A and B are shown apart, each in its own frame.
Chain A
Amino acid sequence: DTAVSQTPKYLVTQMGNDKSIKCEQNLGHDTMYWYKQDSKKFLKIMFSYNNKELIINETVPNRFSPKSPDKAHLNLHINSLELGDSAVYFCASSQDRASGAKETQYFGPGTRLLVL
């Protein structure tokens, strides 16, 4: 069984379009994240949600809007895509802060987004 899954794995689209990436985890975790990996392989946090509430927003343009319908899902919607949005987007999850030493983050397989 896949612990953290993302769809789609590949996304090719034109500049100006709107697209969504979905993430689901079946680990029973309460905290979920989106990370962006750029062309130089650098990974940086974008958002974090705990129990459907936004807790980290790392100065990401407001064209990016995360949505968490429940604690097992964290979707990422991107409006008006730009060339610079091309990257690999990773979803991750971890157990909540109240559970003690279960802070290891488990990552999804990544979604490679290419904006043309």
Chain B
Amino acid sequence: AQTVTQSQPEMSVQEAETVTLSCTYDTSESDYYLFWYKQPPSRQMILVIRQEAYKQQNATENRFSVNFQKAAKSFSLKISDSQLGDAAMYFCAYRGFISNFGNEKLTFGTGTRLTIIP
């Protein structure tokens, strides 16, 4: 079974600075997908960024980028120029490749609470 580990329960960063959230996972599959979701106090789960394991290039979305290290099974999220609106819980999630029914589920880490200091 796949597992996802987020070792930082809480992180804080000064506004406009850069912060990196860590995520490691365990899987025996060679193809899969990784995601970062953000959950602000509104409780809504918002997709931040996704990465396909077969792509070597790290995904980027504006101020958000990932450092995907497949051999190390590491998938960290870097937030540049942090803004007050980035304050939220961040969840790393794993999804198996679409090959069998049942692979579609997301397996989540325990989350990292990010605080932005004005």
Contacts and interface: CB of A to CB of B under 8 A. Distances in A.
Interface of A: 31, 33, 35, 40-45, 48, 50, 55-56, 58, 88, 90, 92, 94, 97, 100-101, 103-107, 109-110, 112
Prevailing SS type, chain B contact patch = strand
- Size class of B's contact patch? 20 to 34
Interface stretch (B15-23, B39-47, B63-71, B79-87): B39-47
Prevailing SS type, chain A contact patch = strand
Contacts of B108: 42-44
B105 A45 contact: yes
A103 B33 contact: yes
Interface of B: 33, 35, 37, 39, 42-47, 50, 52, 89, 91, 95, 98, 101-102, 104-108, 110-111
A112 B41 CA distance: 13
A103 B47 contact: no
B45 A56 contact: no
20 contacts: A33-B105, A35-B106, A40-B110, A41-B89, A41-B110, A41-B111, A43-B91, A45-B106, A48-B104, A55-B101, A56-B104, A94-B104, A97-B98, A97-B104, A103-B33, A103-B104, A104-B50, A105-B95, A110-B44, A112-B43
Closest 8 A/B residue pairs (Cβ) = A107-B45, A45-B105, A43-B108, A97-B98, A55-B101, A110-B43, A41-B111, A109-B44
